[in-house]
Amino acid sequence: GLASAWKHEAAFREEVLLAVVTIPLGLWLGQGGLEKALLVGTILLVLVVELLNSAVEAVVDRVSDEHHELSKRAKDIGSAAVLITLLLAAAVWGLILVPHYL
């Protein structure tokens, strides 16, 4: 599944590259186990939600290539889940790191 996502999903590749930078950074900047877990965990959660979104999109595309409102809705909801997870990650990183480094 990971190899397929890497090969076929540009957004997943971009988020993996983000993870390659932010996971070590989170481990370095986090003070204590809980902060490190939150910083790294939110980035991993972004990858998980992106994989699920890609799976939904693949199934929708497999069922039919014609435009259908429910297909569009399924894809839009999956994309919204990724957006909310990215916002969650940004909020956690900001709430943890800004007080430490300002």
Cβ atoms of 23 and 30 within 8 Å: the answer is no
Amino acid at 41: G
Of 39, 15, 17, residue with least CA distance to 26: 39
* Residues sharing a CB contact under 8 Å with residue 97, sequence separation 6 or more, in sequence order: 29, 39
Q: Which residues, given as ranges, of the chain have pLDDT below 70?
A: none
Give residue 75's pLDDT: 94
User: Which active-site residues does the annotation give?
Assistant: 50
Q: Taking the model in full, what pTM does it have?
A: 0.92
Cβ atoms of 42 and 20 within 8 Å: the answer is no
Give residue 42's pLDDT: 98
Of 32, 31, 33, 6, residue with least CA distance to 19: 6
Give residue 65's pLDDT: 81
Give residue 67's pLDDT: 87
